[in-house]
Structure 1
Amino acid sequence: MFAESVPVVEVSTVPPDGFVLDVREDDEWRAGHAPDALHIPLHQLPERAAEVPRDRQIYVVCRIGGRSAQAVQALNDAGWQAANVAGGMQAWALAGRGMVSETGADPKVV
């Protein structure tokens, strides 16, 4: 289980200028995501990890927290400072945090 070994933060504690890494699939991303998030689907993270800054805290999201926990564990094992955002984008949306879509429709979590 990831919960015991992976740092977790509440959505409300992610600073407005925090670096958000979204590890969801393309269709989920297009439907709605944090405005300034970096999108790297979980399966692409090994090849694209260099795009994630090493000099700051990383807040990782997926839909509800499972994939992001895997990403956090991998990043932290490789020397990053990453934390799983509890509840993922579902919690983000429920908290009223900013979201945008790539489709032109109102952003939503799918």
Structure 2
Amino acid sequence: MAVFYIRKQLLARSLNQYSGTEAREKMKSGSILLDVRTAQERRSVSLPNSLHIPLHELSSRMKELEKHKGKEIICYCASGSRSVNAGIKLKKAGFTVGNLTGGIASWNY
């Protein structure tokens, strides 16, 4: 169990980490926001111009993101934990990935 946790932490460090302000700047240069929360969470609040693929569906729906493979995909969730898991999956699949540190709460509308 400890080996898995350490491996996940090392993989998480390989993701670009962005504050809300930094993520907005990255979007201006073509980065894509990916919401990995549930549909119910997204109905409550979502970030503008973001794509939505819940984490539990990501593996089966990854082909939908292929057209964005040349761009950085910045994942977000409620707190930043699920988005790290999504980022790790995407990075293993060859995507350039970032993470919205602190999740949607860090967006600072």
Give 2:72's aligned residue: 57
2:16 corresponds to which letter in structure 1?
P
Partner deviation per Cα, 1:30-89 (whole Å, 9 max, x = no partner): 011012111100000001111121010111000010000000011011100011111111
The alignment-based identity, stated in percent, is 33
Give 2:37's aligned residue: 24
Question: TM-score normalised to the size of structure 1?
Answer: 0.78
Runs of 4+ in 1 over 6 A off after TM superposition: none
Give 1:13's aligned residue: 22
Q: Quick one: distance in 2 between partners of 1:85 and 1:60?
A: 6
CA drift of 1:11 comes to 1.3
| Unmatched tracts of structure 2, length 5 or more | 1-7
Give 2:54's aligned residue: 41
2:13 counterpart SS class: coil
CA drift of 1:6 comes to 2.9
CA drift of 1:9 comes to 1.4
| Unmatched tracts of structure 1, length 5 or more | 97-110
Give 2:101's aligned residue: 86
2:89 corresponds to which letter in structure 1?
A
CA drift of 1:20 comes to 0.3
CA drift of 1:90 comes to 1.1
Question: TM-score normalised to the size of structure 2?
Answer: 0.79
